[in-house]
A and B are shown apart, each in its own frame.
Chain A
């Protein structure tokens, strides 16, 4: 469709925000009464939109390339996916390392003291308590919240209730931790043994905490056997397990 040079200039000035009041009035009038002029305006709008779109796509590609570069230089290790719990476990182990470094100067290698130095409750990686969700069962939410707030007695009771309905590895792990903290060492051992045997996940965590249970109850040979097994692997617990094994007499 042919358009006059004057119309094209008017439309360009409109999109470049250069119209004066009289021109704007003319523009508005033409839009209401002239279909040919209106189609020119619509076409210009689409063309400018395409230019903006290609600009945004180009910026997106730039950010995607930058992300690939950054990930290579400084990889981020974070995920809430259940299959990546071991990243958090690794972080917990690093935390334990720091605690150990401070404590090791001040005590002899008695099993219970080693337990105190190496034990850190496993963090709740299984149910974010801050996230609101309509489907979140209140008992479940209360259980994880109690655990996070350090109310291990309440947490243990609620975790046990939850396990009656649904066997979940994460809950067994946290129940074991709660029992261990509460001094219910035998119950904790049973939890970690069940976690190791009955589930396909969190085996290494189960073994690590079971070794700490044995330290707590003074069964050093059993603790050493598990620590040796962990130390022979390449998993995140291995270094810590080897270090602890050296200290358990």
Chain B
């Protein structure tokens, strides 16, 4: 499989395809990162997992369509940036919380950080959404699948049905978020009495 085929496979695939890439470069990456940065194997694994997620994100968002170098070189480059950036911020190879790192590096925009409390309420609302809505909007907004791809993946009758369903799911999510916000406002008011 050549470099562009790997990118296409990840773009059109899911976690399984991501897992194949993870396995393919794992040993070489871990040997390199442990030696290069004199870090522990466990830290190396954390760095590698975040590296693969950034690689995946760049492909999904269309930032990476063709590679001028090899996948290996690209992954090593990402890994190096993670370590350097983290050493600059926290004087460690890897953040204490990978989840926090994901929010700061994959979700927040450089110029506008999402308020933690508001983000927490959005996550709560999402956790109450239930299936198949959660899966549907995740395919659309995270995996960046098109409506025809979602129609196939989730066995909808046609793309129109899938699109309508997606709109209904988002409407429900907005309502849940508003409820979370109201509850939060009530709790704050109650505490201040």
Q: Which residues of A contact B (CB under 8 A)?
A: 1, 8, 12, 43-60, 62-64, 66-67, 70, 74, 76, 78-81, 128, 130-131
Is B39 engaged at the interface, CB distance under 8 Å to the other chain? yes
Task: With A53-B103, A57-B102 as known contacts, state yes or no: A76 contacts B30, CB within 8 Å.
Answer: yes
Q: Contact between B30 and A50 (Cβ–Cβ < 8 Å)?
A: no
Task: With A47-B174, A53-B123 as known contacts, state yes or no: A80 contacts B39, CB within 8 Å.
Answer: yes
List residues of chain B with CB within 8 A of the CB of A78.
30-31, 34-35, 41
Is B148 engaged at the interface, CB distance under 8 Å to the other chain? no
- 25 pairs from A and B in contact (CB 8 Å cutoff): A43-B177, A45-B114, A46-B114, A47-B126, A47-B174, A49-B108, A50-B122, A50-B125, A53-B123, A54-B123, A54-B126, A58-B138, A60-B102, A63-B18, A63-B49, A64-B49, A67-B26, A67-B45, A74-B27, A76-B31, A78-B35, A80-B38, A80-B39, A128-B35, A131-B38
List residues of chain A with CB within 8 A of the CB of B50.
60
Interface of A is mostly: helix
Task: With A46-B118, A49-B114, A66-B23 as known contacts, state yes or no: A59 contacts B18, CB within 8 Å.
Answer: yes
Q: Contact between B98 and A60 (Cβ–Cβ < 8 Å)?
A: yes
Q: Contact between A51 and B177 (Cβ–Cβ < 8 Å)?
A: no
Is B90 engaged at the interface, CB distance under 8 Å to the other chain? no
Most buried by B among A54, A55, A70, A130: A55
Please measure, in the bound complex, the distance between the C-alpha atom of A205 and the C-alpha atom of B103, giving whole angstroms.
46
Is B40 engaged at the interface, CB distance under 8 Å to the other chain? yes
Is B173 engaged at the interface, CB distance under 8 Å to the other chain? yes
Q: Contact between B36 and A49 (Cβ–Cβ < 8 Å)?
A: no
Residues of B118-176 at the interface with A, using a CB-CB cut-off of 8 Å, are 118-119, 122-123, 125-126, 134, 137-138, 141-143, 167, 170-171, 173-174
Is B19 engaged at the interface, CB distance under 8 Å to the other chain? yes
Q: Contact between B102 and A51 (Cβ–Cβ < 8 Å)?
A: no
Q: Contact between B36 and A66 (Cβ–Cβ < 8 Å)?
A: no
Q: Contact between B106 and A52 (Cβ–Cβ < 8 Å)?
A: yes
Interface of B is mostly: helix
Q: Contact between A51 and B171 (Cβ–Cβ < 8 Å)?
A: no
Q: Return A183 CB to nearest CB of chain B, in Å.
A: 32
Please measure, in the bound complex, the distance between the C-alpha atom of A188 and the C-alpha atom of B22, giving whole angstroms.
46
From A44, A67, A80, contact of B35 by CB (8 A): A80
Q: Return A47 CB to nearest CB of chain B, in Å.
A: 5
Please measure, in the bound complex, the distance between the C-alpha atom of A43 and the C-alpha atom of B175, giving whole angstroms.
11
List residues of chain B with CB within 8 A of the CB of A63.
18-19, 22, 49, 52-53
Chain B residue nearest to A15 (CB atoms) is B141
From A43, A48, A130, A131, contact of B141 by CB (8 A): A48
From A43, A53, A59, contact of B107 by CB (8 A): A53
Please measure, in the bound complex, the distance between the C-alpha atom of A214 and the C-alpha atom of B33, giving whole angstroms.
39
From B34, B53, B126, B167, contact of A79 by CB (8 A): B34
Q: Contact between A47 and B138 (Cβ–Cβ < 8 Å)?
A: no
Residues of B29-66 at the interface with A, using a CB-CB cut-off of 8 Å, are 30-31, 34-41, 45, 49-50, 52-53, 56-57
Is B5 engaged at the interface, CB distance under 8 Å to the other chain? no
Q: Contact between A50 and B123 (Cβ–Cβ < 8 Å)?
A: yes
Is B191 engaged at the interface, CB distance under 8 Å to the other chain? no
Q: Contact between B38 and A128 (Cβ–Cβ < 8 Å)?
A: yes
List residues of chain B with CB within 8 A of the CB of A12.
167, 170
Chain B residue nearest to A50 (CB atoms) is B122
List residues of chain A with CB within 8 A of the CB of B31.
76, 78
Most buried by A among B18, B141, B174, B177: B141
Q: Return A210 CB to nearest CB of chain B, in Å.
A: 29
